[in-house]
Amino acid sequence: MVSAVIGLSALTASQAEVRYEVVDLGTALFESLSDAVPVVSNTGLVAGTDTFPTSRAYLWDSGQVLSIEPVRAGASTRGYGVNDHGAVVGVTPGPTATDLINRPFIYQQGVYTFIPDVEKTNNINARAGYAINNAGVVVGEWESRPFIYADGVSRYLEGSVDAQGKLATAGVAKDISNNGWAVGTMTYQGRTGAVIWHDGVSLDIGSLPVSAGQRTDASAAAINDLGQVVGWSNSVNGRRAILWSDGEMIDLGSLRGAGRTSEALDISNRGEVVGVSECIGAGCAFVWNRDEGMLQLQDYIDPDSDWILNKATSINDAGWIVGNGFRRSTGLSADFLLIPVVPEPAAWGLLLCGMWVVAVARRVSIFRTRSE
């Protein structure tokens, strides 16, 4: 209900009429972590990783930033996903002083839940929880294999077989929808494939064409509740952002046209896609929709803004977009939130109404734990 009300404001106009307010999420990205990117939920919560002065997962809610401190003193935390209820998933070293192994965790209202081992191993790095849906189901990587955690149990996701009959040897699950479909990447003999897992089945969704009957590398980054998948695929035009829907794979293009690269990182239930593309100049974050194609987000903020929008990493059903950029005035990298603003009076009213509903619906803040 809340997200639907907010989303009405963005539906009243085409993308060409939408402008974005840029919100500084209060992070300082001293260290670049390509996988620890900000994500936004349909209730307007943002999770990510602040890397300065030390790596800490964070949860942003209505202008407040909660730093998720590690259980073990001196350790780091990284945040990769958040659901509509404020549960953050990520990775941190284990809870005891002698436990150096990185462990996936769920953090909610000050409480850590460490995801149990899929199996006992000694590798300290190759494990993380990357996404969590509204039912609390988590997917990620465990010792270079995709895993799922549900109802207190962790297990590996099934390996897939590609069109040439080659069995996948390793992989990672990157996202999960609210109906339990997961997506990610599997490695075959000499090829990387984009994979969907659902109802106990794994499916390699293929790639963009290179030559007749030949598949090339592809990767799936996100899935929405309609089963639409985004990621990238190699092609005759280089690495391109893709949308897979109803068995069809679509090349989303590039901000610089043919022969230039792009990568899709998230998709909303409205079918809007965000990511990063080669572009002319700075600010290569994009948003894509079926009516208008790929658009450079830098063109839709105040031209006098201090922000350069490098990469868009997540979008919710209200059209809120988060990503990585930097400030011209300081040269410092940081995470941003873009909130769509439609200048028509009626749309302004809907936007303000939506913001009011959010405030009322969530008046008991998840940050109440700070005062308890």
Written as one letter, the residue type at 370 is: R
First-last CA distance in the chain:
29
Beta strand segments in 5-95, E: 19-24, 39-40, 46-50, 56-61, 64-68, 78-82, 88-93
Q: What is the pLDDT of residue 7?
A: 41
Q: What is the pLDDT of residue 10?
A: 43
* DSSP-derived secondary structure letter, 123: -
pLDDT tens string for the chain (372 positions)? 333 334 434 444 566 578 999 999 988 887 767 777 899 999 999 999 998 888 999 999 999 999 999 988 888 999 999 999 999 999 998 776 666 678 899 999 999 999 998 887 665 566 899 999 999 999 999 988 999 999 999 999 987 666 666 677 789 999 999 999 999 999 887 789 999 999 888 889 999 988 655 678 999 999 999 999 999 999 988 899 999 999 999 999 999 987 789 999 999 999 999 999 999 888 999 999 999 999 999 999 999 999 999 999 999 999 999 999 999 998 889 999 999 997 644 444 444 455 444 444 443 444 444 444
Q: Which two tokens stand for residue 167?
A: 């069995």
Q: What is the pLDDT of residue 220?
A: 97
Q: What is the pLDDT of residue 365?
A: 45
> To which CATH superfamily is domain 2-370 assigned?
Peptidase/esterase 'gauge' domain (2.130.10.150)
CA dist 214 and 168 (Å) reads: 17
Q: What is the pLDDT of residue 214?
A: 65
Q: What is the pLDDT of residue 42?
A: 98
Q: Which two tokens stand for residue 189?
A: 């003999």
Q: What is the pLDDT of residue 124?
A: 57
| Burial label, 170 (beta-carbon count in 10 A; 0-12, 13-18, 19+) | middle
Please indicate, yes or no, whether the overall pTM of this predicted structure exceeds 0.75.
Answer: yes
Beta strand segments in 246-355, E: 248-251, 262-267, 273-277, 285-289, 293-296, 307-315, 321-327, 333-341
- Residue corresponding to tokens 């499916």: 203
